Amino acid sequence: MITIDNIIELKTNSKTERLSFATRYLVQINFTFDLTVLSDSFGGTSHFCVRREQIEKLCSDLTEMKDRLSGNTNLEDNDSDANLCFQIERYGQVYVFGQVGGSYEDNYVKFKFQTDQTCIEPLIEDFLKLLKYEEPTTLYETIDYILWNEWDPIGINDIAPREEYQSYTPTIYNLKNIGADKELIVKTLHKIETETMGLLGNIEHCKEIADKIIKLQDTKKNGI
């Protein structure tokens, strides 16, 4: 499981209509959100769990619907009958409706509101960024994940190809594998930043990353 702390929001032009996904964590291929809906005077928040493939299909469907100005797609919670549906009509109206929380719960909310097609593109972009997260399963993958998502000395992990820093993963993995201390890992990361990449470097950030790598459990060391 990896913890993810971000919010994906359907940006409407109204203060009384809101749909947001507060991402909490990823377990294998399952993303869990706190889903919040506000529609007129009604609102609610509940856990909402979906698989990676469901989000991929949602993005694909919404892209096609945006281009055609027609169609509908839905997203269903894997743990309850909670659901979301997006429908676009030919003049660009977008209807969002569904249910927050399972009907077996004491409190659940059915909702529906209208917005327009300008909200769709940012929603797709934010979900595609979320799909870049993958749960690592080995020590090597975990280090690679840290270098990409947390070290990111150039600040491009939201726009660059996933392999941008992967040439440095073997070096840091080997240091961890032989039991190198924090000082050596910090020095190596900083050297890559300043000499290989030609950046000014951030020694304090390198120390933070080295701390995370030092604390990784050896039980994950089960192969590359």
pLDDT recorded at residue 222 = 42
Supply the DSSP string of the chain, one letter for each residue: -EEEEEEEEE--S-TTEEEEEEEEEEETTEEEEEEEEEETTEEEEEEEEEEHHHHHHHHHHHHHHHHHT-EEEEEE-SSSS-EEEEEE-TTSEEEEEEEES-TTSS--EEEEEEEEGGGHHHHHHHHHHHTT-----SHHHHHHHHIIIII-TTS-TTTS-GGGGTTTHHHHHHHHHTT--HHHHHHHHHHIIIIIS-----HHHHHHHHHHHHTS-GGG-S--
The answer to whether residues 61 and 91 belong to one domain is yes
The answer to whether residues 10 and 107 belong to one domain is yes
The answer to whether residues 149 and 196 belong to one domain is yes
Q: Which residues of the chain have pLDDT under 70?
A: 218-224
pLDDT recorded at residue 223 = 43
pLDDT recorded at residue 27 = 86
User: Which of 107, 130, 153 is the last residue in one of the domains?
Assistant: 130
Number of domains in the chain: 2
Give the range of the structural domain holding residue 181, as residue numbers without chain letter.
139-220
The answer to whether residues 162 and 65 belong to one domain is no
pLDDT recorded at residue 220 = 41
pLDDT recorded at residue 218 = 54
Note the pLDDT tens digit of each residue in 101-133.
998 887 888 999 999 999 999 999 999 999 988
| pTM of the model as a whole | 0.68
The answer to whether residues 152 and 120 belong to one domain is no
User: Which of 130, 165, 180 is the last residue in one of the domains?
Assistant: 130
pLDDT recorded at residue 43 = 84
Residues 6+ apart with CB under 8 A from 144: 136, 165, 166, 169, 173
The answer to whether residues 76 and 167 belong to one domain is no
The answer to whether residues 164 and 91 belong to one domain is no
* Separation CA 64–CA 74 (nearest Å): 14
